[in-house]
Chains A and B, each alone.
Chain A
Amino acid sequence: MKRLIIGLIVTLVCAGIGGAAAWWVASSGLPAEVDTTTERARLAADGLSESHVYVDPSVEGMFSDEQIARIDEAANTSDPEVFVVVWPESRQAGYGPSSDVLRQIGRLLDRPGVYVQVSPGDALDSVDVGIDGEYFSIYESPAEEWSSSRETTLLLDKIAENDGREYELGEDTGSDYWGGTAGTIGAGALIGSFGGGLVGTIALVGWFIMRRRRAGV
């Protein structure tokens, strides 16, 4: 009985220490809270302060004024709101994937909604900023022949799909990778159970073998 209690207390203490150590180690792997904004994000945010569509000067004329007006109108009336950035995708502009720069724009603009990147020849990309809502993906693989009319239709369809989507204001803190809070707890419990079961069994077998050796059998 005494051994049982001692064993359980040691186990509890080890679990506490181990948990604290794991937390500490994992904390060092957290990405730095990025508050840098890149030049492109600032330019786009400036453009979006007056409209819901920003067209980079280098791709001016890609869409007709009439197309831009329709997209602007739809983006403005959509709920949650949509903000569209039209420019060539770049990996040479100081940010990682396009979702990074879209988040930067959203942070600068400080208006919750869906931020969409339109790059002629590339797939549409979007990210929710400041809203925590139903899953929505605007991704659509790029067409062989890019045309502004096809792209406009697609974009308007997607904006219509977004309109009326359920959401709450506030940043989505759940992890897509682990599948939300339930997924996170489930993954932790599962990994812990398997790992602990395995390690415990191996340790116990090791102890039995050690005991036999020590007993000289």
Chain B
Amino acid sequence: MGAVVLAVGGLTVGATAAAAEAADDGPVRVATVDEMIDRLRDDPILVQPSMGMGDSALAHDVLTEAASGAELPVYVVLAQMPEELADGERPGEQVAVLLRDELGDGVYHVEFLGESSYTGVWGAPDEYDFRDAYIALRNAEENGPGEYPRASALFEAAVVAHAAASPGQELPQSVVDDYASRPWAFIPESTTSMADAKATRWVATLATVIGVLIAGIIVTLGVVRAKPLKTKAGVPARRSAHETVPEQMADRARKRLASARRRFEALPGTELTADPGEKAARAIDAAERVLDTGDELDAVGAYVLALIADREVDRVKRPERPAFRPCFINPLHGESHDTVRVGGSSIDAPVCSTCGRQQGAFLSVRKGIRGWAPYVETDTVWAWTGYGALVGDLADQVLADRGVRR
């Protein structure tokens, strides 16, 4: 009886010493299958540095934890292949069989460096099935980091050990996800060197700066050169079919009108009754009526009426000056100095000197979504009068028109 106790005690002490030796000795070194068997008797998990994903002690602990609670012993070998097996086929399976002969029933997962893994189960019912474990592993690989994520042998072994510890149960996704998030789960891909990455940063920055500079200079020079849109003869290179009312036309008209009114009010009282003075008053009156209607053509009208009023004020002192008549094509071109037979009509219309050389585009307003209508085709007092180009009494016609409409 005492001898047995002594023997058991001696065995325990021996095992503890071996374990302590294994821990102190640093990484596990096994060169033969026999040495491997001796190791596995003390500790069923064997991981060598070349298979340990940077830390074989950590790998050992991960696998021990994964296999904990198993009913059958779970043996895991991640190691270099013992030399004696170098010529054999499927060394993982060979070794698993040899280990089982010595160590008895259990789950054996063996992967040698550069070889494929083998998992064998002895002495257990059929419910040991690692298909789910491998499906989970493949899924984790598909969602892994980098371009071609490949699970490490350690990741695979951990999943298998976990499945072996709880046979017949579903492998919790959280466990696989947890493993997958560890630095040892995937084979590191070749990293770009720091020097290359820094140089790439310079290339990207330089290329962007130079690219933007060149693109900007091309666009700027192109736009600046294109600005005149005229040939050497001074003729518009490409005449557009319409000219639009400039923005803030009403403001321009208002300023013009204000200055005309100031000059008009500065006239001596006797001259207000003279013909030009009366005309100026009516033009100012008419301009005020159309100034704030919000209509583009009306704003132009107010502007032209202000110019007419201004000229009439001049004519009080210098009656020899002609009344103001704008360019029929576009009153904003200024005063007419020429006449031209406008296409499709029988009358000679007064136009500015530019339009006299070559007829420009009519002042136009938007009509519909993409269409433009020349002002002469609109149903307005401006169309009938040509903004005073065709008549001498624009102010009277405007006053009459607006009087009727109200």
Contacts and interface: CB of A to CB of B under 8 A. Distances in A.
Interface of A: 3-4, 7-8, 10-12, 14-16, 18-19, 21-23, 25-27, 29-31, 33-34, 36, 38-40, 43, 56-58, 87-88, 90-97, 100, 172-178, 184-185, 187-189, 191-193, 195-197, 199-201, 203-204, 207-208, 211-212, 215-217
A91 B198 CA distance: 26
Interface string B1-39: 000000000000000000000000011010100000000
Interface residues of B, number: 68
A134 B210 CA distance: 32
DSSP class of B's interface residues: helix, strand, loop or mixed?
A: helix
Contacts, number: 242
Given A91-B187, A96-B190, A174-B195, A195 B211 contact: yes
Contacts of B54: 36, 38-40, 93-95
Contacts of B26: 43
B200 A178 contact: yes
A30 B194 contact: yes
A211 B187 CA distance: 57
Nearest to B218: A200
A34 B192 CA distance: 11
B223 A22 contact: no
B211 A90 contact: no
Given A18-B208, A92-B50, A95-B188, 20 more contacts: A3-B223, A7-B219, A22-B208, A23-B204, A26-B201, A30-B201, A33-B194, A39-B56, A92-B78, A93-B51, A93-B54, A176-B195, A176-B196, A178-B196, A178-B199, A188-B205, A191-B203, A196-B211, A207-B222, A217-B238
B223 to A, nearest CB: 6
24 contacts: A11-B217, A19-B209, A22-B204, A29-B200, A31-B193, A90-B114, A94-B55, A95-B188, A96-B190, A175-B199, A176-B196, A177-B193, A178-B199, A187-B207, A188-B206, A192-B210, A195-B207, A195-B215, A196-B215, A199-B211, A203-B219, A204-B222, A208-B226, A217-B241
A200 B214 contact: yes
B49 A43 contact: yes
Contacts of A174: 195, 199
Contacts of A14: 212, 216
